[in-house]
Amino acid sequence: MNEIFEALGFAYEVNQGAYEITIPPRRWDIAIEADIIEEVARIYGYDHLPSTLPSGETVAGSLTKAQHVTRQLKSLLEGHGTSEAISYALTTEEKSHQFMMKESQTTRLQWPMSEERSVLRMNLISGLLDDVAYNVARKNNNIAFYEVGRVFYQTEDPTKNLPAFEKIVRAMHDAQIGYGAINHPVDRDPICGYNGIIDDVCPQCGRSEEEHQEFERIRRITGYLVGTLNRFNDAKKAEECDRVKHGITT
């Protein structure tokens, strides 16, 4: 065991048969006990480990009510000659507002790959129509589709949902994620000099972009340290020391 830790470059101490391992900063991928066990097994050789069968009580699996209904629905539809389609969850803003069953705000990606896949869908029908058009364009006219999937409604502005923002940071803490980054907007009106979040109208002078010069749209990445600095190298520790700190109550 000592030779394996020396080969890995892990400093260690042995106390009454128990090992206390110090992970070097370069090995940021080692976070939990299972990671160390995997490294030891890799060096020792998986072929040297004895073969064993899994033990323990087996429990029969079961479906939830929603899963049971979904399977019955799929069986019924496919029994009548339809085929299941899986459409893109991202679409255009125009298509996302078609066939809506209730009012909702649009959930838009900050940096979409294209406008064709820029917002989350709020209906399934527009995606099925795209599937039909794709097949008809390729002379496949005898088609019948159905889809079981999720649509995404927003009752509030997602960019101002502070409880959800705090929930993400707390989830990082609970999952022992040492460091994470979240993008947030910092806009500027070059006419009046206002800095902050600007939607369609500047909160300070009340003008819109159509009236004069466009607003400056800046997207800044903010880091959230919710763990410890144990696995940080000296450069990262120095960077952390210079940063502005914000606390959060637990």
Q: For the chain, what percentages of helix, strand and coil (3-state, to nearest 5) are there? A: 30, 15, 50
Residues of the chain with CATH 3.30.930.10: 65-146
pLDDT of the residue at 245: 62
pLDDT reading at 55 higher than 70: yes
Q: Which structure tokens are listed for 155?
A: 């009752």
Percentage above 70 pLDDT, the chain: 86
Every domain of the chain with CATH number 3.30.56.10 lies at: 2-48
Which band of pLDDT confidence, cut at 50, 70 and 90, is reported for residue 197?
confident
* Closest to 134 in 3D by CA, of 120, 121, 124, 145: 145
Provide the CATH number for the domain formed by 65-146 in this structure: 3.30.930.10
d(CA 195, CA 87): 40
Q: Given this model, what pLDDT does residue 79 score?
A: 95
Residue 242: CB partners within 8 Å, gap ≥ 6? none
The 10s digit of each residue's pLDDT in 219-234 is 655 555 555 666 666 7
Fold of domain 2-48: Phenylalanyl-tRNA Synthetase; Chain B, domain 1 (3.30.56)
How much is the pLDDT for 160? 72
pLDDT averaged over the chain? Answer: 84
- Name the more confident of 124 and 55: 124
The CA distance from 1 to 11, in Å, is 12
Position 150 scores a pLDDT of 93
Between CA 145 and CA 81 the distance in angstroms is 9
In this structure, what are the phi and psi dihedrals at residue 178, rounded to the nearest 5 degrees? Answer: -65, -40
39-43, 55-59, 110-114 — which one is most confidently predicted on average? 39-43
How many C-beta atoms surround the C-beta of residue 12 within 10 A?
A: 14
Lowest mean pLDDT among 30-39, 108-117, 210-219: 210-219
Q: Determine the average pLDDT of the residues in 210-216.
A: 83
Q: How confident is the model at residue 52, as a pLDDT?
A: 86
Which residues 6+ apart lie within 8 Å of 7 measured at CB? 43
End-to-end CA distance of the chain: 40
Backbone angles phi, psi at 151, to 5 degrees: -120, 160
Q: What is the pLDDT of residue 227?
A: 57
CA–CA–CA angle 170, 171, 175 (5° rounding): 120
For 32-71, b/e burial (b = at least 16 CB within 10 A) is: eeeebeebbeeeeeeeeeeeeeeeeeeeeeeeeeeeeeee
In one letter, which amino acid is 18?
Answer: A
Q: How far apart are CA 140 and CA 127, in angstroms?
A: 17
pLDDT of residue 183: 67
With a cut of 90, say whether residue 125 has pLDDT above it: yes
Contact 204, 192 (CB under 8 A): yes
Comparing C-alpha atoms, which of 213, 66, 65 is closest to residue 150? 66
> What pLDDT score was predicted for residue 30?
87
Q: Which of 38, 58, 59 is nearest to 49 (CA)?
A: 38
Highest mean pLDDT among 49-53, 138-142, 189-193: 138-142
